[in-house]
Amino acid sequence: MIIIEFIKNYWSQILCLGGVASTMVALIITLFSAIKCLLRNDILSIYLDHKEEKSISLYEKEAIMLSYSLYKKLHGNSFVEKIVEEVNAWKIIN
């Protein structure tokens, strides 16, 4: 009974908060997707720049590995995993 009375008295505020909460969840999901896209693009860009010579600088490899660890935390796909495996076999140059 108390819950029903509470809902009757505050239904407009409850709906407003529900709308704000659902909007925030949608925004967070969109931001995660955007971040994954940016990380994937950074990794792919470095990969394509050095694909032919199959060598990479230590700083670029470190950038790939840091981006990859964040990408995996966001549940990225295996496309990037294959690229990172290939880059790990490359020669490191100064």
Distance CA 79, CA 82 (A): 6
> In which domain, by residue range, is 23 found?
2-93
Nearest by Cα to 58 from 90, 26, 23, 30: 90
Q: Which two tokens stand for residue 10?
A: 């505050």
Coarse DSSP helix, strand, coil percentages of the chain, rounded to the nearest 5 percent: 80, 5, 15
Label residue 94 by pLDDT band (50, 70, 90). confident
Q: What is the pLDDT of residues 40-92, one digit of tens each?
A: 999 999 999 999 999 999 999 999 999 999 999 999 888 899 999 999 999 99
- The domain tally of the chain equals 1
Q: Give the global pTM.
A: 0.81
Beta bridge partners of 93: 57
